[in-house]
Chains A and B, each alone.
Chain A
Amino acid sequence: QKEVEQDPGPLSVPEGAIVSLNCTYSNSAFQYFMWYRQYSRKGPELLMYTYSSGNKEDGRFTAQVDKSSKYISLFIRDSQPSDSATYLCASNTGNQFYFGTGTSLTVIP
């Protein structure tokens, strides 16, 4: 079993839709949970991070962690074509990071 599991998609939504991206993890020792966005042919960029269970909101983006079910989510409201990218979830224990496979998202104008 992989440390972090993520549905690779692809996911295609119309502009303005709410997008839900999800991951599950297996290691209860994971402390921080991150979402990275990667545009084509670019390195990943840190989008959001959360610690412990709960929600964290940043503009149109909301990261959610449920430690009891080992489930992490990223919600994108009012999705834009510029949101089209691959989104990777990640978690860590100490400085050991584990990445999901990434979900490819396309927002259609």
Chain B
Amino acid sequence: GAVVSQHPSRVICKSGTSVKIECRSLDFQATTMFWYRQFPKKSLMLMATSNEGSKATYEQGVEKDKFLINHASLTLSTLTVTSAHPEDSSFYICSAESSRGRRYEQYFGPGTRLTVT
């Protein structure tokens, strides 16, 4: 299967600082990448859909100025959590989309555990 990497896997930062998370599709080109947030024992919550070369589409309730998404190439998308606060502590997962004809598949990264102190 396709491989998606995420970096860093774990980050601890102080309140008020910004954190950047990278998502890379290693062996395929992804025109679309997704960013999810997952709380303990909860399902994936889609935050935004990122298309290469265009602005991300944010889900309702997700602050675009707080969660900056850049999809500069077909293999890289970044999520920057700006002015992080403890309530931003969560597990952030990206996925990259591979399309084969009419079928879409999502391949997930391993996730980034963010802890804001």
| Nearest chain B CB to A93 CB, angstrom units | 10
CA distance A31 to B104 in the complex (A): 10
Q: Given that A42-B111, A44-B93 are contacting pairs, would A97 and B106 also be in contact in the complex, using a CB cutoff of 8 Å?
A: yes
Chain B residues with CB below 8 A from A101, complex form = 42-43
Tell whether, in the assembled complex, residue A43 and residue B108 are in contact, meaning their CB atoms are under 8 Å apart.
yes
CA distance A95 to B109 in the complex (A): 18
User: A57 near B: Cβ within 8 Å?
Assistant: no
Tell whether, in the assembled complex, residue B6 and residue A95 are in contact, meaning their CB atoms are under 8 Å apart.
no
Tell whether, in the assembled complex, residue A32 and residue B110 are in contact, meaning their CB atoms are under 8 Å apart.
no
Please encode chain B, from 43 to 65, with 1 for each CB lying within 8 Å of some chain A CB and 0 for all others: 11010000000000000000000
Chain A residues with CB below 8 A from B108, complex form = 36, 43-46
Chain B residues with CB below 8 A from A36, complex form = 108
CB contact list, B63-117 vs A, under 8 A? 91, 93, 95, 97, 99, 102-111, 113
Q: Which of A43, A49, A88, A95 has the most CB of B within 10 A?
A: A43
Pick the contact of B99 from A88, A95, A97, A102 — CB < 8 Å?
A95
Range class of the B interface residue count:
20 to 34
Q: Given that A32-B103, A41-B113, A101-B43 are contacting pairs, would A46 and B1 also be in contact in the complex, using a CB cutoff of 8 Å?
A: yes
Please encode chain A, from 12 to 46, with 1 for each CB lying within 8 Å of some chain B CB and 0 for all others: 00000000000000000001100010000111111
Please encode chain A, from 38 to 82, with 1 for each CB lying within 8 Å of some chain B CB and 0 for all others: 000111111001010000000000000000000000000000000
Pick the contact of B6 from A32, A43, A45, A99 — CB < 8 Å?
A43
Task: Give the 5 A-B CB pairs with smallest separation, nearest first.
Answer: A43-B108, A101-B43, A43-B111, A95-B104, A43-B110
Known interface pairs A43-B111, A46-B107, A88-B43; 4 further A-B residue pairs with C-beta atoms within 8 A, sorted by A's residue number: A41-B111, A95-B104, A100-B43, A104-B41
